[in-house]
Chains A and B, each alone.
Chain A
Amino acid sequence: MSERVAVRKTYKLFIGGKFPRSESGRSYLVQDSNVSLASRKDARDAVIAARAAVRGWAGATAYNRGQILYRVAEMLEGRREQFVALGVPGDEVDAATDRWVWYAGWSDKLPQVYGGANPVAGPYFNLSAPEPTGVVAVVAPEAPALLGLVSVIAPAIVSGNTVVVSASPAAPLAAVTLAEVLATSDLPGGVVNILTGRHAETVPTLAAHMDVNAIDLTGVTDPELAADLEVKAAENLKRVLRPADHDWSGDPGLGRMTWLLETKTVWHPKGV
């Protein structure tokens, strides 16, 4: 009896909760698969999807966002073997799952840790609370393919930001498979958008985009490109996270969440 012929998967982009091919119709061969090669137009479409998702996601309760991030962990746990089959070490999948759990718990604690009442010298109620900055462009680290990606997405969205991620060009399969996890986790469409292809093609569009509020350059390895992207980002004064070396297995700390927060301070007089 002949062996069963396997059904192969088509690896596509993840924009607005859907899995479109690149509008350019292009793909590139990587990890023995044809993967969509995103264009500048795809990047702009992804920003539109991310912007459209901000109101609902930032406006959701912290409890709700925490539940959804925890649901991502549940879904990831269940798909562990898929990632292992793509060459992601089992330990890394476990660490990535645990990272979702860790960040899930922050959604309703960050505003307490990072904000609070200010004792102003006068008869005023005065409260500072963090809010998401909006749409964040993220250049995912080259490696580790899954843990690195989760470690840059989760801290951005936990507070209510939405993201457009340029996935690792050399290891995009884990990114697309993570998109499938996200698509089945009750995460609203557009909160996470994933582009596969070349950073140099899509990221300059994101860096210069006037409707993007922040850009994370973590995955940019070329210092000249990083400087150029930072110059582009200055046009609308995006918040910029510069490339740096990371130990992805260590305690993530608060920094990856707090740089994407805006502190809003509300005053009101006290009186009768």
Chain B
Amino acid sequence: MDDIFTKVREGNAMHVRVWLDNTENDLNQGDDHRFSLLHWAAREGQTKIVEMLIQRGARINATNMGDDTALHLACSHGHRDIVGMLLHHKANINAINEHGNTPLHYACFWNHDQIAEDLVNNGALVAMANKSDETPLDKAKPKVAKILTERAGSLGQDLHKIPFKDRSWLGYKTRSRDALLSRHAGINIEQLKLQGHMATTHSGEVWRGLWQGNDIVAKVLNLRECTVRNSRDFQEEFPRLRIFNHQNILPVLACCNQPPNLVVISQFMQYGSLYNVLHGETGIVVDQNQCLRFAIDIARGMEFLHTLEPLIPNMYLTSKHVMIDEDLTARINMGDYGFSFHEKGKLYSPGWMAPEALQKKPEEINMRAADMWSFAIVLYELETREVPFADLTPMEIGMKVALEGLRITIPPGISSHILRLLKICMNEDPGKRPRFDMIIPILEK
């Protein structure tokens, strides 16, 4: 398993595919120098694997310790097809590494003329200076430099030198993750450096802490008493929550099973939940586009969860169960899974649930269709910035939605596309609601 990096370098596509299918494997993990799988595949020219990784949601702009992105590596090693693919998937074309070099610097330096041209055609700045105050043009052969200058000029680029600016303090770079994260399933509570109490929720006590140098949150489940049976069920259920192979799923990293304490450990997300971002005061500007991106992220995450067989039960979609990562990716938080023995018979967010899910047992209904209803409510939230049924208590909401036909009221002024989507996702007949794989293309449009 340690050798997945080698397999990627060798181009063993078969092996990589099998590895990626294992939910416990994190495709965004990095090696000792924080090279991700995508870095290696791009460097070694493993086109098929690059394609596979992108398809599975690898982070395009992840950086290694030298702040190189996969695009830097593909450019220096002259893999034109890969450069094309990365650009197509919105790789940051002017990303700078620790030397202040952009991918174009490398393409020019290593004389990959065609790649350099492609880059400029796609908006790479020819006048960007690195730390040594050299632009890509300074690196290129005079003949190539001339062609590139002309091309840039014709595209309307300002050819005045752009001085190097150290932006690393902004902290917008996303390093590949520590590969160790996904290797530990059960850990000792002593190993967690719990630093501060964050919150007391209905489901448990939430603490912030450090584990192997990573910021984590630890949720100590709220139980009246922890029986041997609870502990056993916990042990059986939590491994399914360690889903590292999808970027829109926030996995449970590990658990401590030490009765009376059952602890669920997840990565710390500084922006908190989508609920928090939308209705709290985080200072994040969420414009129309960002909303749509959140919606697509959530739909992708749900689509992935719906491919699992059997479905992970008691995983209810609400904006409280979606976390926002530092790069503003929305990720469904597996830490909000409801353990079978935990909070039995209590639903704290009925406003997001389909009427049939409020009435019948999960095994009696189509849970995937019920999730689609919940997605519609989140979509409504994204569009209106309103908490659904904000003025009612959960018991009132549940009774009224389940028995009295209460539904959200969609305010005027909402875009007609979204309105139509809301209507089909919230079809009263669960059988007529679409699947997530069907609505993702609609959202992307």
Q: Do A and B bind each other?
A: no
Taking beta carbons and an 8 Å cutoff, which residues of B are in contact with A? none
Taking beta carbons and an 8 Å cutoff, which residues of A are in contact with B? none
